[in-house]
Amino acid sequence: MESKLIVLILALGAINFSMRFFPALILNKLDLPEVVRDWLSFVPVATIAALVLPMLLEWNGEIVNISLENKNLLAGIPAIISAGITKSLGITLATGMIAMALLQFI
């Protein structure tokens, strides 16, 4: 059982390392055409949005809960405002966490 877990961890580690390393290693040697570079420039914003929207809308096992019950959505509002103004990771993190902590008392 235990050695099986270690093998799984090693295999997952190898997969993650390969996914992180090889695209950079291979593309690093090539001059990418402009259209590909443009395409890659949209990857970060698209990925982050695809990750975060489900987090904000999900509540108590419901995929979409748009109501005052959904504390992720409520805490998200001040976090979005502070992120929009400051573009700062630290300030947004603090705003969001304080908002969420305050919501526990309501």
**What is the smallest separation between the CB atom of 44 and other proteins, expressed in angstroms?**
4
**What is the smallest separation between the CB atom of 18 and other proteins, expressed in angstroms?**
9
Measured from the CB atom, is 69 or 101 closer to other proteins?
Answer: 101
Q: HSE-up of 81 (CA within 13 Å, CB side)?
A: 8
Measured from the CB atom, is 40 or 69 closer to other proteins?
Answer: 40
Cα–Cα distance between 45 and 52 in angstroms, integer?
A: 11
**What is the smallest separation between the CB atom of 69 and other proteins, expressed in angstroms?**
14
Cα–Cα distance between 27 and 37 in angstroms, integer?
A: 11
Cα–Cα distance between 70 and 72 in angstroms, integer?
A: 6
Measured from the CB atom, is 69 or 97 closer to other proteins?
Answer: 97
**What is the smallest separation between the CB atom of 3 and other proteins, expressed in angstroms?**
11
Q: By the 8 A CB rule, do 98 and 77 touch?
A: no
